[in-house]
Amino acid sequence: QTYFWGLRPENLRWFSLAFVGAILAFVLVGPLERLLDKKRVLLTCFALLFVDGITMIGLRLLNILPHNGDPRLLVLLIANEIGRVFLGTVLGIMFASMIADTLDTQELHTGRRQEGLFSAALSFSGKATAGVGSFVAGILLQWVMPWPRKIDPDNVHPGSSREWKGV
């Protein structure tokens, strides 16, 4: 937030307003669930979060967003964070609700409740995904990005990445 968006540390406190997105999600998730299919809501939230993940940075790189230091940029970033928290909270609630529905269906077909098995499978898959993702990201950063060594981060000029080739 401080480097890419040029925010000052005192601006970061405003991001705590993201809790508004969570409150809105808890208020609206019930009506959303009654109006729309859970799977559709979950996939829509996921797609919107995916698009949002590249939109703000893309808009910055295309010089469409206000420049660093412009007060409108902080307002846009906070509004975006509130929206992201809203979508992420709805996604999490819908996912948990769908797991509960799956458990009920599984019990209906087999006569057994197996929350422990489902919980263990979810936990393992999350940890395996995070572990593999971190490993692959580390390999990519080590071999694809020529990071400079023994350089003070405070003295790196933003345009100096071109000079890193062959380091």
CA 24 to each of CA 44, 143, 159: distance values in angstroms, whole numbers, following the listed order: 17, 43, 41
Beta-carbon count within 10 A of 82 CB: 19
> DSSP label at 63?
T
Residue with tokens 């979060």: 49
pLDDT at 111: 86
- What per-residue confidence (pLDDT) applies to 46? 94
Q: What is the dihedral of CA 125, 126, 128, 131, to 10 degrees?
A: 170
pLDDT at 3: 78
Close Cβ partners of 2 (under 8 Å, ≥ 6 residues apart) = 8, 9, 12
> Would you write out the chain's pLDDT as a tens digit for each of its 167 residues?
777 888 888 888 989 999 999 999 999 999 988 899 899 999 999 999 999 989 998 999 898 999 888 889 999 999 999 999 999 999 999 998 888 888 888 888 888 888 888 889 889 999 999 999 999 998 888 888 777 677 777 776 666 555 544 44
Please tell me the predicted confidence (pLDDT) of residue 130: 95
Tell me, what's the pLDDT at 117?
85
At CA 31, angle to CA 36 and CA 44, rounded to 5? 40
